[in-house]
Chains A and B, each alone.
Chain A
Amino acid sequence: MKKELLKINNKEVAIQIVNSEVKSIRNKDITTVGARVYDKGLIGVAGQYGDKNIEALYKKAEDNLKLNIKYPCEITKDVQVDFKSKPINKNKSEIMKEIEELFKELNSPLNDLGFVASGDIKILNEDRSLTNDENLNFYMSKQSIEIGILLKEKGSPDIFDTAYVFEGEKFNKDEARNGIINMCKAHKNKVEFQVSKGEKIRCIIPQNEGTQRFFEKELNGEKIGRGASFFSNKFGKKLFDDKVTLYCSNLFEEHGVPFDMEGTLNKGEENAFITNGVLNNGYTDKKTAYKYNLKATGNAFGKFNEVPSLEADNLALKKGDKTLVELIDGKPAIFIIMASGGDFTSDGVFGAPVQCAYLFDGEKLIGKIPEISIRSNIYDMFGKDFVGVPKEGFKGFGIDMLAVMDMEIS
């Protein structure tokens, strides 16, 4: 019988902004622990909040072997690695002081521009370890700051009109202030945007805005193994543009994690699902890889108290070597801030409403365009209409995982 322990500690200070003022401060320090016992091809799991009485937790996990959940795989052995993100550039009290200052400084310009700010700023610290009887000792520690500020134009019937987001380890008050003010200024500048039916426009889209959801669904190893994936029988073929390389990121700055919950190292780009447009393989955990004889990619995730299960929520496109200006190439382009509610059909057709987008020249947001819809399909948007991934993000927005593709709009 082998034992394995997953321990996650999340510390968080969240500063909530309402009506452009600090309303509350929330502190969190929560530890969750998952104990796993492996015996005779079975797995038993038990979880708890807090890290006391671990032996009792192992006993529960052992009792859960009787639930008869098969686990016909070897646990990871003899690996010891520490991963640490860059530390946050300021201490907690400095950040909190600067946030108070930021919103005092924003109060007057936001009022003049006719906006109300709400949302939160979080200082996050996650420690995660996975250890077992077979000399596995994975540890990661990630620090980051998340800013999510919703900006509502006064008098607008919408719950919010635009948003400024940032995630990283460097908090820069001046950058945040300028980003928010420039976004509001662009929003006030309503621009005409006439397109003829079926015309395509260059779109700069955050990678988490739904355009990669189809890959997340259809590259699932279980579906591939069952022949139930849209991409079944298409592996090894060049289906997409040369500039498309898609992988589950192992980099903190791409919201990736270096190892999964089964202790498989996530090799990131080295294990890409699509390389230069060629569809290589789907994503798997150990069980799926074993069951269908697929390549193991380290995609076992899930909750701390569960049997690890197949997930891929940190898909990333490989950055190219061109800037946003070069990718836009002088063509009319829009920066999509919010395209919520769209989806792919089962046959890969994509449609989404764009609630907020700005005319964009690669360096600055020029003006707000009216609400539009975008439409494409998985082969076009990542094929002939795929323009590229910029080598760096757009500082005025805070998100650096972007993709540029031409889309039909209406």
Chain B
Amino acid sequence: MFNFPKDLYCDVRIERTFKTNITYENGILTQNKEGSYCGGFVRIYDGDKWYYSSVTDDKKIQDKIDELSSIAIKNKYIYKNPSVEKFQVNIYDELKFKENGTKNISNKDKVEYIKSFIPVFNGYPEVVSWNVNYIDRYVLKEFYSSKGTRIKYDNNVFGPVINFTLKDRKEFFNHRWQKQVNSLKENEGDKKEFSLAVEEGINFIKNGRLVEPGEYTVVLAPVAAGIFAHESFGHKSEADFMIGDEGMRAEWQIGKKVGSNILSIVDWGDIQGGGYTPFDDEGNRCTKTYLIKEGKLSGRLHDAETAAIFEDKATGNGRAINFEFEPIPRMTNTYIESGDKTFDELISDIKDGIYIKDIRRGSGMSTFTLAPTICYRIRNGKIAEPLKVAIATGTVFETLNLIDGLSNKVDIVSFLHSGCGKMEQFPLPVGFGGPYVRVKKLSIR
């Protein structure tokens, strides 16, 4: 397909994207955008430096290959380079959504679908402002390398994202409900779920009490547990952060105890949804990678280069947000594995604790932080009144060891409107989740 240069490694990633965004804001259609774009990213490696370029016209890819080749220094041993040796040779061609993806659904049907959520607001005078969005994203990825890899796969995610502001007396509460769906045809269940989210928000604004700051036993809902796993441990497992730090590599020996015995955290690209990545953006096949298994450090997330440096297997985690960027080690779907309790069993012996049901965002360095939206007090083993919590925070490694209960079902979600950020590359679609997770002690403010 391409005329790859001799004595240089070269690969080409092509992305064909179709996106829709329909927005109704307070009853008025304000956005209805559908667009298809093609972009390519060319990489050349000479064993010393990488040379990258983006193109928006796939007919110019060969020109870019030739242009970058002329800058790079020929290296007849390039295929013996440890990083290049980590590039697998894969042949794959499977398009799951070519015929039944959202590209083939009419704009009219999408408009009717998203409009059907609007009447839900009618029963709730507390809703003073809202916007209702339909989002879909179809991406067909092609990858070709000078080692012989030829890959073609696609992914399609879609669903509603609804933002609304509630008012009660002088108080306001901004809330969001979103869901990645599988079909635009049957949405009665989704409308019911959305209406329950509005009612929960109303209960929160009317009855929510300001939390007394302190340390509490906390139960994290799957979305909060997933963001905790992603922010607190997932990023630390991206191996590029350890390059050049021999001390840290020694400290982070596989097998080291880092969490409680019931804790396992996994990253795996072969799960449908936003983080679906059967092959990474270097053409390597995804693997199910345990970052922590039964409390012990078990793996790291690699692109080819870090796999070579660490003398590990490439894990298929070299990802880029789009055709304008180079792949770097990133997460795909990161989740905590399930335990053996029901939700009721998990909270049954908590005398005074907090249930974090939904959160706005999280972050994680040595200390991690979750910014909750909806929280409840747990009193004598039962969910009680809603609580207003600004932040929940803890030391990452202490908290990993304080996890003492997991429910028996994993829920993995991905956000349609946003994603993961790492340095300049934001937002990358990822999935995250887990079961309900009980932590013996977290600092709540």
Contact = CB atoms under 8 A, between A and B. Distances in A.
Interface string B1-45: 000000000000000000001000110111111010111000000
Interface in B156-175: 165, 167, 171-174
A404 B363 CA distance: 24
B153 interface: no
A371 B391 CA distance: 15
Contacts of B28: 70
B409 to A, nearest CB: 28
A25 interface: yes
A221 to B, nearest CB: 11
Contact of A353 (B50, B173, B246, B367): B367
Given A155-B248, A158-B365, A341-B368, A49 B326 contact: no
A6 interface: no
Contacts, number: 188
A217 interface: yes
B366 interface: yes
B287 interface: no
B248 A343 contact: no
Given A22-B49, A70-B29, A228 B424 contact: no
A352 B52 CA distance: 38
A169 to B, nearest CB: 19
A80 interface: no
B52 A25 contact: yes
Interface in B206-244: 231, 235-236, 238, 240-241, 243-244
A148 B247 CA distance: 24
Contacts of B37: 48-49
Size band of the interface chain B makes with A? 35 or more
B36 to A, nearest CB: 9
A3 B235 CA distance: 47
Most chain A CB within a 10 A radius of its CB, from B49, B172, B371: B172
Interface string A64-97: 1001111000000000000000000000000000
Contacts of B172: 228-230, 346-347
A26 B53 contact: yes
Contacts of B35: 46-47, 305
A338 B366 CA distance: 13
* Closest A-B pairs by Cβ, 7 of them: A341-B363, A341-B369, A228-B129, A49-B56, A19-B244, A155-B247, A24-B50
B128 interface: yes
Nearest to B164: A228
Given A25-B52, A158-B236, 5 more contacts: A154-B246, A226-B129, A307-B33, A341-B368, A373-B445
A54 to B, nearest CB: 15
Interface residues of A, number: 70
B426 to A, nearest CB: 13
A340 interface: yes
Nearest to A233: B170
Contacts of A178: none
B244 A351 contact: no
Contacts of B361: 341, 343
Given A27-B53, A118-B243, A223 B129 contact: yes
A318 interface: no
A69 B32 contact: yes
A1 interface: no
Contacts of A230: 172
Interface string A135-164: 000000000000010101011111110000
B247 A343 contact: no
Nearest to B53: A27
A342 B365 contact: no
A340 B241 CA distance: 18
Contact of A341 (B50, B366, B391): B391
Contact of A119 (B173, B393, B423): B423
Interface string B353-384: 00000001111111111110000000000000
B326 A24 contact: yes
B324 A355 contact: no
B245 interface: yes
A69 B363 contact: no
